[in-house]
Amino acid sequence: MPAEQIFTNARVVTASDVFTGTVAVRDGFVHEVSQGCSRLAQAQDLEGDYLMPGLIELHTDNLEKYMNPRPGVDWPCESAVLAHDAQLVSAGITTVFDALSIGDVNPKGDRLRQLPIMLRAITQAQGDGHTRAEHRLHLRCELSHARTLEVFHELVDSPLVQLVSVMDHSPGQRQFVKMEKYREYYQGKYQLSDSDMDAFIALQLENSRQYSDRYRRAIVHECHERLLSVASHDDATLEHAQESADYGMSIAEFPTTVEAAAASHRLGLKVLMGAPNIVRGGSHSGNVAAAELASQGVLDILSSDYYPASLLQAARLLAGQDGDGALPSAVAAISLAPARAAGLHDRGEIRAGLRADLLRVRGHEKQFVVQHVWRCGRRVF
């Protein structure tokens, strides 16, 4: 990597503006941002393409698809991590919080067995310098599971852990306030008979009663002690939002109603929604549409969730007919806002002094097409 790089004739997307300009990078950091084109011979002509900050993904379980590409197939974990990493970088993601699920409501699930395997594989690949994106860990804690607190304590000491979310997917809670929706979703998803589904519901209700409140208090308290960012999950009511705020959480993941999202936003939590929700035009589970929250000014962060390429596509859709005028705020939802919510103050925008995590993007009809990606000034795609 050269000590200094100059990118010119680019449509530079800052946190507040888009302009034709030049960005100088020195020793992996943005050194200078200026309007107009450079005449220096060593300047790289970006031919009018966009130059955006590297994207920051706070919640993705994309790695699981590579670990288990088919039912019953365990793929070598090192290979899985590198394939996952390559897909992320090609989508413009330079910092990723890989979501590891602690506790599994799936009666036939295998997530607990895979947790330490995934953690070791991510840690090893990053430690060896094989990953192109920077990987952090997001511990998703299913509160209505007997072993969640135990496993949380086993994993939280990893230096890669920086974000923790708490959730309760038991009947009547958050995402599934209506019992019939809960039964329809899980019985279809796990192919359970009526009697098996009855037993499954009874077990989840008992586990929630026994563990959820106690585990939420313990996990959130420990996160605050360790200065880890904490997120709520699937809040549905004003009471849920107030509870999350009272616990000092900083992010509201996937609120299911306008009421909960607006309350979370008002109470200071950053509202995170799925980029696939924007791209598809609504929630796959019938909850509130992310575009509706954006139109009301209560959407702060987008996550690719299960589809990495959705981040840039969603930003393009959010900018909409306003084009470049609305682009800074749309791009901030996938860069600056998630960086700040996760406590990363050295990246997330193109500004002098910050890391040179950059992407060259070409606009084509309704798509953004990634051309090149740099992390800390080093080209990784």
pLDDT at 288 over 80: yes
pLDDT at 105 over 90: no
How much is the pLDDT for 107?
58
Q: How far apart, in Å, are the Cα atoms of 332 and each of 299, 319, 368?
A: 11, 11, 15
Residue 59: closest CA among 313, 209, 278, 274: 274
Domains (ranges, CATH) in the chain? 1-52+348-381 (2.30.40.10), 55-346 (3.20.20.140)
Q: Which residues are CB-contacts of 178 (< 8 A; sequence separation ≥ 6)? A: none
Q: CA 176 to CA 240: how far, in whole Å?
A: 13
Average per-residue pLDDT in the chain? 92
* Helix-, strand-, coil-residue percentages of the chain, each rounded to 5: 40, 25, 35
> pLDDT-based confidence at 35, cuts 50/70/90?
very high
How much is the pLDDT for 71?
81
pLDDT at 110 over 70: no
- DSSP secondary structure string, 170-230? STTSGGG-SHHHHHHHHHHHHT--HHHHHHHHHHHHHHIIIIIHHHHHHHHHHHHHTT-EE
How much is the pLDDT for 197?
83
Task: Please compute the mean of the pLDDT values over residues 275-282 and round it to a whole number.
Answer: 92
- pLDDT > 90 in the chain, percent: 77
Q: Determine the distance from the C-alpha atom of residue 297 to the mean position of all C-alpha atoms in its chain, rounded to a whole number.
A: 20
How much is the pLDDT for 353?
98
pLDDT at 136 over 90: yes
How much is the pLDDT for 256?
92
Residue 357: closest CA among 343, 339, 333: 339
- Of 30-39, 41-50, 106-115, 208-217, the range with the lowest mean pLDDT is 106-115
- Of 13-17, 31-35, 165-169, the range with the lowest mean pLDDT is 165-169
Q: Is 247 exposed, middle or buried, given 0-12, 13-18 or 19+ CB atoms closer than 10 A?
A: middle
17: helix, strand or coil: coil
> pLDDT-based confidence at 177, cuts 50/70/90?
low
Q: CA 192 to CA 182: how far, in whole Å?
A: 13
Beta strands in the chain (DSSP E): 4-13, 18-26, 29-35, 44-45, 50-53, 55-60, 93-102, 134-142, 161-167, 229-233, 251-253, 270-274, 301-303, 358-364, 367-375, 378-379
How much is the pLDDT for 168?
86
- DSSP secondary structure string, 253-264? ES-SSHHHHHHH
The tokens describing 179, both together, are: 């019992």
Over residues 319-348, the pLDDT tens digits come to: 986 678 899 999 999 999 999 999 999 999
Q: CA 248 to CA 38: how far, in whole Å?
A: 47
> pLDDT-based confidence at 291, cuts 50/70/90?
very high
- Of 27-36, 44-53, 143-152, the range with the lowest mean pLDDT is 143-152
Query: Do residues 6 and 29 touch, judged by C-beta distance below 8 A?
Result: no
Q: CA 291 to CA 289: how far, in whole Å?
A: 5
Q: CA 378 to CA 27: how far, in whole Å?
A: 9
pLDDT at 109 over 70: no
Over residues 139-153, the pLDDT tens digits come to: 999 998 899 999 999
- Of 23-27, 282-286, 290-294, 362-366, the range with the lowest mean pLDDT is 282-286
- pLDDT > 70 in the chain, percent: 94
Q: What is the four-CA torsion angle of 311, 314, 315, 318, rounded to 10 degrees?
A: -160
Q: How far apart, in Å, are the Cα atoms of 90 and each of 155, 373, 375, 379?
A: 29, 8, 12, 12
Over residues 243-260, the pLDDT tens digits come to: 999 999 999 999 999 999
Task: Please compute the mean of the pLDDT values over residues 6-13 and round it to a whole number.
Answer: 98
